[in-house]
Amino acid sequence: MHIVVNDIYFKGYHPHGNTFVQHLFALLIEKHPEHHFYFLVNKFDKSAYPEANNASVITINSSIANIATLKLWDLIQLPRLLKQLKATILIQPNGLYAYTKVPQLLVITDILWLQTQSSIPSYIRWYHRLVINKSVSKSSQIVTLTEKIRQEMLSNFPNASGKVSIVNAAHSPLFHPIDYDDKREVKATYTEGKEFFLYNRIIHQDKTIIKLLKAFALFKRWQKSNMKLLIVGAIADNKNGILSKLSSYKYKDDVMIMHTISNQQLAQITAAAYAVIHPYDLDPYTLPILSSMNCGVPTITIYDGTIDEIGGDASLYALPNDTNSLANALKLIYKDELFGRSITKKGLEQSEHFNWNNASISFWKVLMHTITI
């Protein structure tokens, strides 16, 4: 078989499905040397997928800067390339259908583009809404990560009935517990040797950071501790943006920001954190929670029916859009060490249920079913 993964998407933005598929196919390449895998990537993502005797990374020089260039790729360039590669199946991590007769397996890890309050740029949300019905209708099969997202897909798109399968994600092998000396070194490097809460995501919205800073201010006022807040990810630097407002924030000296970071650094920082705060803006992606649980670090996240499907009773939940609820969660995890140790232990146990070997087996079954439909 010739299995093609289309990782081409809008420049500067990557759907969560990309990371999920990258982890899966790193393992599938090894498990299935009898098949050849082709990974279509832009020039900035050459290292996203491994090359092997049965795996080729094809760099696409076209820049997908807007909807028109993406349509050109989906309508003309991609179908032409699939013919050249004699593709047996096309995997779509962006969740969108391409105009080809090759069987397509869509990966839809969330439906944030249906929400008005989302970190996804408005033009991308608009485009997904425009084409999603056709994408669902024309696709052969769809993979998502949780039962909650599967139910939302079926509720919003009845034509998805019989097509949606669940394949649980897992944490990267980079994420694991580290010893006391390593934790101390990480804290000395990034947070002046102080304990810290970690808040991580690829792109931040100002309103999301403001909620977080308000909750952290309440925590600092209540506890009078030297705890730091480490924010990892890109933050827009504009005239009225959060970076300009941070200069007048009472606890600005206790807030550290890292705009860019390697996966290795993130794994070390996650394992050294006092607790990890999962993005507080209805982001249902589950890998950060699984990663922190496997590091033996308590996770504070939101309660929305998706995340708790993964976190179970191994995470501490705050209410959506409730600053006091998040502040109280920070206080509880800080003050009650017995509770912290309890959910850390549960987190390590919970993370064992999610591994890439099981995920690869489940995904491969869906892939084979897609071809035989």
CA 199/CA 208 separation, integer angstroms: 11
Q: Residue 307: which pLDDT band, with cuts at 50, 70 and 90?
A: low
Q: Quick check: 313 pLDDT over 80?
A: no
Q: Quick check: 76 pLDDT over 50?
A: yes
Quote the tokens at residue 320. Answer: 């959506």
Q: Residue 206: which pLDDT band, with cuts at 50, 70 and 90?
A: low
Pure H helices in the chain: 16-31, 67-72, 78-85, 122-138, 147-156, 180-190, 206-223, 242-246, 263-272, 287-294, 307-311, 323-335, 337-351, 356-372
Taking alpha carbons only, the member of 201, 187, 189, 274 closest to residue 232 is 201
What letter would DSSP give residue 52?
A: B
Does the 180-351 domain belong in CATH 3.60.40.10? no
Q: Quick check: 253 pLDDT over 70?
A: yes
Same fold for the domain at 2-167 and the one at 180-351?
A: yes
Q: Residue 35: which pLDDT band, with cuts at 50, 70 and 90?
A: very high
- Give the pLDDT of residue 282: 47
CA 322/CA 74 separation, integer angstroms: 41
In tens, the pLDDT along 335-368 reads 998 988 898 898 888 888 888 899 999 999 999 9
- Range 126-147 average pLDDT: 88
Which run of H or E residues covers position 38? strand 36-42
In tens, the pLDDT along 163-194 reads 999 998 887 888 999 999 999 999 999 999 99
Tell me the one-letter amino acid at 280.
Y
DSSP state letters, 87-133: -SEEEETT----SSSS-EEEE----GGG-SS-SS-HHHHHHHHHHHH
The most confident of the ranges 42-56, 107-121, 238-252 is 42-56
Instruction: Please state, rounded to an integer, the average pLDDT across all residues of the chain.
Output: 85
**Backbone φ and ψ of 318, nearest 5°:** -110, 160
Q: Residue 286: which pLDDT band, with cuts at 50, 70 and 90?
A: low
Domain chopping of the chain, boundaries: 2-167, 180-351
Determine the angle formed by the axes of helices 16-31 and 287-294, rounding to 10 degrees: 60
Q: Residue 238: which pLDDT band, with cuts at 50, 70 and 90?
A: low
Q: Quick check: 303 pLDDT over 70?
A: no
CA 218/CA 240 separation, integer angstroms: 23
- Range 60-64 average pLDDT: 78
Q: Quick check: 17 pLDDT over 70?
A: no
Q: Quick check: 240 pLDDT over 60?
A: no
Q: Which has more pLDDT, 18 or 172?
A: 172
**HSE-CB of 184 using CA atoms within 13 angstroms:** 3
Contact 254, 230 (CB under 8 A): no
Quote the tokens at residue 70. Answer: 């993406």
List CB contacts of 180: < 8 A, sequence separation 6 or more. none
pLDDT-above-70 percentage for the chain = 87
CATH architecture of 2-167: 3-Layer(aba) Sandwich (3.40)
CA 47/CA 41 separation, integer angstroms: 9
- Range 67-84 average pLDDT: 92
Taking alpha carbons only, the member of 79, 145, 72 closest to residue 106 is 145
Strand partners, 256: 230
Strand partners, 103: none
- Give CA separation, 36 vs 18, 32, 39, 42, 305, in Å: 19, 8, 10, 20, 38
Quote the tokens at residue 308. Answer: 């708790």
CA 88/CA 82 separation, integer angstroms: 9
- Give the pLDDT of residue 27: 92
Whether pTM exceeds 0.75: yes
Burial class (CB in 10 A: 0-12, 13-18, 19+), 247: exposed
The most confident of the ranges 108-112, 132-136, 183-187, 201-205 is 183-187
- Give the pLDDT of residue 103: 95
CA 111/CA 219 separation, integer angstroms: 32
The most confident of the ranges 5-19, 61-75, 109-123, 227-241 is 61-75
Checking DSSP bridges between strand 228-234 and strand 196-203, what pairing results, if any? parallel
Strand partners, 56: 38
- Give the pLDDT of residue 121: 73
**Which residue has 């017995």 as its token pair?**
338
